[in-house]
Amino acid sequence: MANKVAQEAISERAQPKPGRLIWLCAAAWMVPGLGHLLLGKKWRALILFSAIVIMFLMGIAMQGEFFSTGTESYLQTLGYFGEMCVGLAMPAARFFGYAGGNPLFVSADYGSAYLIAAGMLNALAVLDTYDIAVGRKP
């Protein structure tokens, strides 16, 4: 009984404050792997950063399409939200002049898949940051 009470006390102390938790998740979304780095998981942060950025750059190299929400297609809207999950990389690519690819290019469909997959992987990294911060995962 005393052991269970001690574990609950430790668990309550380990819970992060809501403001810090929101800040960690926002940092993890903006820069892939940053949330893990702030939690002290350096290797995991490096692996996630490398994988997501390389996937995003490969999508751009294959002239993948940037989707928008202005269409009537639900799939293109979902693609837009998938790409936005990659964080600041998409607005940075637009800032530096990437217009969103050429749909007639041979590998443009693969490039679009890489861009969306990079965003979805970053979304999973944000959820992993959350789980580590609340103590559900080591």
Contacts 24+ apart (CB under 8 A), 95-102: 98/60, 98/66, 99/66, 100/65, 100/66, 101/60, 101/63, 101/64, 101/65, 101/66, 102/63
Q: Would you state the pLDDT for residue 72?
A: 81
φ, ψ of residue 7 in degrees (nearest 5): -65, -40
Q: Would you state the pLDDT for residue 35?
A: 96
Is 80 exceeded by the pLDDT of residue 59? yes
Share of the chain above pLDDT 70, in %: 90
pLDDT digits (tens, 9 = 90+) for 65-116: 988 888 788 888 898 999 999 999 989 998 999 888 888 889 999 999 999 9
Q: Would you state the pLDDT for residue 4?
A: 59
Angle at CA of residue 133, ends 49 and 124, nearest 5°? 45
The pTM of this model reads 0.84
Is 50 exceeded by the pLDDT of residue 9? no
pLDDT band of residue 17 (cuts 50, 70, 90) is confident
End-to-end alpha carbon distance in the chain: 25
